[in-house]
Structure 1
Amino acid sequence: MPLDRDRVVLGVATLVAMIATLGSLWFSLGLGLVPCDLCWYQRILMYPQVVILGVATLESRLNVWRTVLPLSAAGIIIAAYQSYLQATTTTCGFEGACAVVQWRSPILRVTIPNLSLIAFVLVTALLLSSLLVDRNAGMQVDE
C-alpha cells in the first residue's frame, strides 16, 4: 500500500515539530539554559503540534491545517519578533532576557529563536503546499 502525498507531508511536519520540541528540551534540560518569556510562548505553540500533527498523520487528515496554521502563524510572529530583538537590541520589554543570545550554532550562526522560526515556517509551508496542491488537483478533476 503506497503512502499518499498528504500523509507524507503530515509525517514530515510532525517530524519537524518533534525535532523542534526535543531541541527546546535539550537547550533547557541538557544545556541548562533558562527559557525567556518569548521562548515559553513559542514552546506553548510548538509542543501541541507534535500530538496534533502525529494524530493527523495516522488518520491522514489534511484538514488539521485549521488547527495547526493558527498555532504556527502565531509562532512565526513571536519567533520573528525575538529574532529581531536579538539582532537589534540588548533589552526586552518582557521580564526575561528575550534579546540575550544564550546559544548560537557554531556552523550556521543561528540562535535559538532563529531555529524556532525555521521550524514554524517549515510546518506552515508544508501544510500550505499540500493544501494548495490538493485544491488545484480538485479543481482539475472537476473540470
Structure 2
Amino acid sequence: MARSGWNFLFAAWMVALGATLGALFIGEIMGQMPCTTCWYQRIFMFPLIVLLGIAAYRKDLTVWVYALPLVLIGLLVAIYHSLLYTGVIPEPIELCGAGPSCSGDTMLLLGAVPIPFLSLVAFSLISILLVLVARSPSK
C-alpha cells in the first residue's frame, strides 16, 4: 500500500513541475510578465519541485508535513488572485501589483482559460494529493 502513497507523491511533483514549466513558458517564451500576485504564487510553487522531487526519489511519504504549508499558503494567494480576477473582490485588477495586469485577453490560455485560475487548480490538486499521501499507509 505504500506504493499508492508514492504514486500520489509523484503525481503532486508532476503537477508542480507542470505548473512551474507552464509559468516559465508564459513568462519567458510568450513574453508575458507576471503581476506581483503571480510572483507570490510562484514563490510558493517553485520550491515544491525540489521538495516533492527529492521526497519522491527518496520515497519520503512524510514530505506532506513540510510541503503542505507551502501549498496551502500558495492556495490562499491563488484564491485571492482568482477572486480579484473575477471581480468578487471589488478592487480593480491593477491593484494586484504595480507591474503588468492579469485582466487582458493575453492572459487567457487557448483563448478561454484565465491564467490566474491555472495556479488555483495546480495548488488545489497538489494539496489534495498531499492529503492522500498523508493518509496512505507508510509501510
State yes or no: 1:9 paired with 2:8: yes
Larger relative contact order (CA 8 Å, sep ≥ 6): 2
Aligned positions, number: 134
Alignment identity in percent?
A: 35
The aligned counterpart of 2:125 is 122
- Kindly report structure 1 stretches of 4+ aligned residues shifted beyond 3 Å: none
| Distance in structure 1 (CA, Å) of the matches to 2:11 and 2:93 | 35
Cα deviation, 1:74-133, whole Å, max 9, x if unaligned, reads 1111111111111104431532345524421237x2211100110111110001023224
State yes or no: 1:106 paired with 2:106: no
TM-score normalised by length of structure 2:
0.86
The aligned counterpart of 1:141 is none
Change (3 A) 1:78 1:55: same
**Does the 8 A contact of 1:92 with 1:99 survive in 2?**
no
Structure 2 portions without partners, runs of 5+: none
TM-score normalised by length of structure 1:
0.84
Structure 1 portions without partners, runs of 5+: 139-143
**Higher mean C-alpha deviation, range 96-105 or range 109-118:** 96-105
